[in-house]
Structure 1
């Protein structure tokens, strides 16, 4: 059985959400953040970097949420949340998975820490975030999800950064992306995930 080590207010919600989507049995171990908003030391017993999420599946220990999502969907989900390998759709889906933590994360995290520290996001990061929101908005113009009408790993992957953007107060000026986030969090399996892991973000 898979064990998920999930840090409070973290990307671990992605992993639990996919497992709930698949109806897969798992054990969940939640860890609270420290007062400094750090992972607790005991997570280092599971991974040398002390990061989360981390899963254990037999003798496999795996970190990095995109890698975990791909592994679980392939091993337990028959790749139901990924396009067919070798297709253009699969390549674009991989692009979205990498986009989230590659192109998108930097400006979202900058906005998050500006909010927590009572400051303002620097202009360069603000402009970068606006460009990303415009790109997402154009993509979602006639789509329910990033790849069309079906929930995919990329949608699960992006959910954490959308929650972070909402917390930081920078999502609301972008109605198409806000509507997309509202569609995602209305999905019963994400609601069930939040019941188990706690909220994705602290109260604003």
Structure 2
């Protein structure tokens, strides 16, 4: 593994924390640049100087001292790149081929299917708050109808799916009997974006933890992972 300079651009309340967690788990050297959202919950304009879309996470890589960096965006892609290029010991890689492919699936699924549903529920839930004063009632009713008619059933369908997937894994993780990148990528939509988010829980109608005991047990398990604990402590100290 070459000694490359790696910079993680981390934004609060974003998907970037999973990349920090992965880097900590793999003990990959990196620099951390922290950003905070503005009062409108938007990312600061400085991120657009790194990547035109101004989203986080962004991974900036300087190969072999080269001054022209490789810029990576999108959480699943960044995590795949890290696993392929900075993991010579094969840590977090399941033993079986089946579970290895399952990890790849979850890297796409978490961002492509699950996250889209949760973001849509969030946006629709904000409609009545952000609509012009005279249209808040109508806007709220329309948004509630869309959520109830489509996005809530989709959310519960996905939770049912994930609950069943965990039931098939004897170790209580998503791809094998120990932590993998599948658990790390799913931590944000399941934990931060839903079960640990009071507003999100209100949008789905109730505390649904009891309906999903396997997910509940998984959540309790991953918050004890050493890499996540270190990542949390780093942010707590530096932000």
TM-score interval, smaller chain: 0.7 to 0.9
Greater Cα radius of gyration, structure 1 or 2: 2
Superposition deviation, residue 9 in structure 1: 0.7
**Offset from partner CA, 1:107-145 (integer Å, 9 cap, x none):** 222343456667768112111111111111111113421
**Cα distance change, pair 9–76 in 1 and its aligned pair in 2 (3 A):** same
Contact 1:2 1:26 in 2 (8 A): yes
Aligned residue runs from structure 1 range 70-149, under 5 A: 70-78=80-88, 79-83=90-94, 87-113=97-123, 122-123=147-148, 124-141=150-167, 142-149=170-177
Q: Which has the higher contact order (CA 8 A, sep 6+)?
A: 1
Superposition deviation, residue 178 in structure 1: 2.1
Which whole-Å CA distance do the structure 2 matches of 1:20 and 1:115 have between them? Answer: 34
Out of 158, 161, 165, the position equivalent to 2:186 is 158
Task: Please report the RMSD computed on the Cα atoms of aligned residues, expressed in angstroms.
Answer: 2.2
The count of aligned residue pairs is: 197
**Cα distance change, pair 144–30 in 1 and its aligned pair in 2 (3 A):** same
Compare 188-197 and 127-136 and name the one that shifted more. 188-197
**Larger fraction in helix:** 2
Which whole-Å CA distance do the structure 1 matches of 2:106 and 2:8 have between them? Answer: 24
* Unaligned segments of structure 2, at least 5 residues: 63-68, 130-139
Out of 180, 185, 196, the position equivalent to 2:223 is 185
